[in-house]
Structure 1
Amino acid sequence: MKMAKNLKSEGRNGTKKLFWMKLTNMAKPHERFWQFTQFALYLVSNVLYSFVGNKMHGEDYITDLPESIIETILTKLPLRDAVRTSVLSSKWRYKWATLTELEFNDTCVSVSHIHSSALAAAKLVKFVNQFLLLHDGPINRFTIYSSYLQRFPYLDQWLLFLSRKDVQELNIGFCQGDWFRAPSCLFSCKKLTALELVRCVLHPPLYFKGFPNLKHLTLQQVHITRDAVENLISSCTLLESLTLLYFDSRKLTIRAPNLTCLVLEGEFKDICLENTPMLAVISVAMYINDDIAQHYDQSSSCNFDQFLGGVPSIQRLTGHGFFTKYMSIGNTLGEIQPTYRQLKVIDLYQVSFDNLKEIMVILRLLLSAPNLQVLQIGGSADASLATDAVDLDFWDKECPRDATFEQLKSVKMTQMLGLPHEMRFIEFLLGNSPVLELMDIAQNVHDETDENHDQSEMYTEILGFETASAEVVIEFTENYV
């Protein structure tokens, strides 16, 4: 508020600064492209206005713009509009043909009078072909996302063209029709530093030895064998960020010595992290079917050690779906060492507080992370779980009551039902966190008039718990589900 007030007092200049502040800082990442585009169009329209207004005086501002400004304007425009700037002046003609970052999508063609997706696809293919034919110079980034394209015979020639341009970033995704098969020339793009494929069939050739410069890899809904994806990951020795979405590999071993960020979502029986000493950020969403559930019931290995045993540098851990259940298999508290000294943030969701094994996973993480600062736990939203709990004596007999969380400052508990184990866990945190500043508890309420759900009783009990921190603020909210 203070910043906004100061900017407002500066008049027009302040307004411009505030616009840029909102544009670059407040927008969500996926909104920034369109905001920059709108600003670029605004800038071009003002330039054109000046051009028309000053032509009578023999001045041509648009032609006299510095090369750097012209390039900046072109990079902020959709490619279709960038091509149209050729009519502005001779200096602008074919300037778009030297762009190094190309993003093709459905907006590249006008479909206001087209009622056939096949015709729209044909127009898009023609636009891309003509653009690449006239392009002059290097291409650092090539992106194509489309809902029109359903068959992909032209993709081979595009990628062959790009491989000869030493493309560094490649993003390809189609949301209609068949999944596209990655052509063999893709594996000749040795300068790639970032690769994203969506709805793709990927079969690396036998001679493929990895992308030597690849640092960022995203595969979403990609058909690839377990051996192929494991070899792809391990052969890209500079890989820093790996994202596998809607990925059903069942068993997966990741070996990546420079990996710092890992995002997984899909159906997995086992995930093993080996040789990942730099891994700092992990986000996993796990789903199960009957086959995987049976595997969990029969498994005897310790998934906690298998998954987190090779990540001593972890700083943030996020788990969704059945992640906590997966981690609970074979896990025991035992003698816990402060293994994860850099772990500062833990976010776990869909935790079943009627399952003591899942609670023990959370406790083991807490006890292994002496510098933890932020903890967020989301419980199960199933009200049918609100039954009499068993093993409540665990908190008195086995839970380490002398544990102290010296750095924990913020705890947020969501989807709470007031289950006995939930209450004991909250009591445990409040009593062992001496610098805790905020305990935020969101309770599930199934109806605003639900008389069977007495929130005040739960709140009164929590407010009666002893707190190790004199500064802690306990807040209550209600989620109507």
Structure 2
Amino acid sequence: MPTSNCTYGLRELLVKVLKRNTKRIDQSSGDEISEMASVTKEDRISSLPWDVLDGILVRLPLKEVVRTSILSSRWRRKWTGISQFVIDDKCIPSRISDKVARWESIMEILRQVQLHHTGPIEKFKLAAYCRPDHSDLDQWIHFLADKGLKEFILQEFDTIKRFNLPFCLFSCPLLNRLELFGCRIKPSSEAIGFKSLANLHLNEVCVTGGTLECPSLACVDIGLRARVVPRLFGSEGGKLIRVIGCLHAIKKLSLSSAILVFLGNNGVPDKLPALLPHLSVLELKDVQLDSLTEVLVCVCIFRSAPNLEELHLSVASTTVYYRPAADFLITKLSNHYFEQLKVANIRAVQNVQTETILIQLLLAHSPVLKRMTIVHYGGRIFPTEVLEQSVPASKDVEFFNLCV
């Protein structure tokens, strides 16, 4: 390949990226790559083993990877063979503002990949503001399903109707991470079983016509707006037990207020029949502490997670004191200890009495607590006298009382 400023610049960039990000590379290859920084008469980077070159290219923005096609005939199609494709707004020319036209720009990339790609595609992420043609997207997912896919991420994009996710995606034996927004999953009457899935993030996703069972999940994040009435994990009774109770390997769980309401619709036990022994991080978003249903679900999860180490809870904006919810907190948590809890973050506090009760119970029943952070919304901090009246079970706890 002829030497040029462009080529040398690319070489410099690739060497820097490789040195910074690539950890697993044999010593001989590392010496060869370091030497390339000073070589201007010979193109030796093109002769690198493909797995090493792929490890460099996937760490660059896709737009920059595509630009390597202008370097020479040897590089014209190289970009189409990489193992990870992250498509975001940066991949689309800034002059294109129409959402349909933006999708067509994305499809040109996907068509080139389908025509020329060989080998596995381990990760695909779509996070671009566009209006996808669902038939195109469906066809692309079928293509990915035979490519050894490990991560599939559909983040927010503008769409009028929900995208029906092809069932072939769930037959990918290596699929480890799944993030979906605004989709509909319509399986057969049989349960959806994920053999390798460890990370699941669902936002505005409907699951209809079957059940969703993932016993090996380590991280789950389910977001849902109140206006959406989905049928998650089947629509029969015992939702809380069926959804949360089967996540025996889970380490991190994140739930929104609306999903708490959904889970609590058909009755809530004091604790789950099978505990969640590995759950160490729990995030509860926009919880309405004046809702008895949401409080019931929260307490059930607390009592079912004996090894909880971090609690991150944001409170929905309210000025209402609802005595049944407060009384339930006192009754059920007065004899419950957070034996392993080290970090507690309570955000969007409004100085409602139910919030105060929860904070005092956490302090009094967390013997190894290291840090409690209280973030008050409204321009003034949480009253210090409330904290002074509390007797922490932990002698080492630090308080961070903030306002925004």
* Closer/same/farther in 2, CA of residues 360 and 376 from structure 1, 3 Å limit: same
Alpha-carbon distance, 1:373 to partner: 1.2
The aligned residue for residue 184 of structure 2 is: 249
Q: CA RMSD in A?
A: 4.4
The aligned residue for residue 153 of structure 2 is: 218
Asked whether 1:465 is paired with 2:401, we answer no
Q: 1:278 aligns with which of 216, 219, 222?
A: 216
Alpha-carbon distance, 1:350 to partner: 0.8
The aligned residue for residue 100 of structure 1 is: 54
Q: 2:361 aligns with which of 384, 407, 428?
A: 428
Alpha-carbon distance, 1:444 to partner: 1.7
Q: 1:361 aligns with which of 297, 301, 306?
A: 297
Instruction: Indicate conservation of the 8 Å contact 2:251/2:278, yes or no.
Output: yes
CA deviations on 1:413-433 (whole Å, 9 max, x unpaired) are 111112121122222222222
Distance (whole Å) between structure 1 residues aligned to residue 290 and residue 300 of structure 2: 17
Instruction: Indicate conservation of the 8 Å contact 2:222/2:255, yes or no.
Output: yes
| Residue aligned with 1:322, SS | helix
Alpha-carbon distance, 1:466 to partner: 3.6
Alpha-carbon distance, 1:406 to partner: 1.6
Aligned residue runs from structure 1 range 20-39, under 5 A: 37=13
Alpha-carbon distance, 1:306 to partner: 2.8
Aligned residue runs from structure 1 range 143-222, under 5 A: 146-148=91-93, 150=102, 151=104, 152-153=107-108, 155-162=110-117, 165-169=118-122, 171=124, 173=126, 175=128, 179=132, 200-202=137-139, 210-211=145-146, 213-221=148-156
Asked whether 1:413 is paired with 2:346, we answer yes
Aligned residues: 360
The aligned residue for residue 277 of structure 2 is: 341
Distance (whole Å) between structure 1 residues aligned to residue 358 and residue 209 of structure 2: 28
Alpha-carbon distance, 1:317 to partner: 0.9
Instruction: Indicate conservation of the 8 Å contact 1:347/1:377, yes or no.
Output: yes
Asked whether 1:393 is paired with 2:299, we answer no
Instruction: Indicate conservation of the 8 Å contact 1:203/1:228, yes or no.
Output: no
| Residue aligned with 2:323, SS | coil
Instruction: Indicate conservation of the 8 Å contact 2:286/2:315, yes or no.
Output: yes
Gaps of 5+ in 2: 1-11, 20-27, 97-101
Alpha-carbon distance, 1:358 to partner: 1.0
Distance (whole Å) between structure 1 residues aligned to residue 124 and residue 75 of structure 2: 16
| Residue aligned with 2:401, SS | strand
* Closer/same/farther in 2, CA of residues 210 and 39 from structure 1, 3 Å limit: closer
Alpha-carbon distance, 1:94 to partner: 5.2
| Residue aligned with 1:323, SS | helix
Instruction: Indicate conservation of the 8 Å contact 1:147/1:176, yes or no.
Output: no
Distance (whole Å) between structure 1 residues aligned to residue 376 and residue 43 of structure 2: 63
The aligned residue for residue 19 of structure 1 is: none
| Residue aligned with 2:403, SS | strand
Alpha-carbon distance, 1:314 to partner: 0.7
Instruction: Indicate conservation of the 8 Å contact 2:81/2:113, yes or no.
Output: no
The one-letter amino acid of 2:373's match is D
Q: 2:41 aligns with which of 86, 89, 96?
A: 89
Distance (whole Å) between structure 1 residues aligned to residue 273 and residue 358 of structure 2: 21
| Residue aligned with 2:290, SS | coil
The one-letter amino acid of 2:377's match is N
* TM-score relative to the length of structure 2: 0.71
Gaps of 5+ in 1: 1-35, 44-65, 75-84, 110-123, 184-199, 449-454
Distance (whole Å) between structure 2 residues aligned to residue 331 and residue 93 of structure 1: 63
* Closer/same/farther in 2, CA of residues 432 and 264 from structure 1, 3 Å limit: same
* Closer/same/farther in 2, CA of residues 73 and 248 from structure 1, 3 Å limit: farther
| Residue aligned with 1:158, SS | helix
Alpha-carbon distance, 1:249 to partner: 1.9
Alpha-carbon distance, 1:93 to partner: 8.2
Computing the radius of gyration from Cα coordinates, the structure with the larger value is: 1
Instruction: Indicate conservation of the 8 Å contact 2:249/2:276, yes or no.
Output: yes
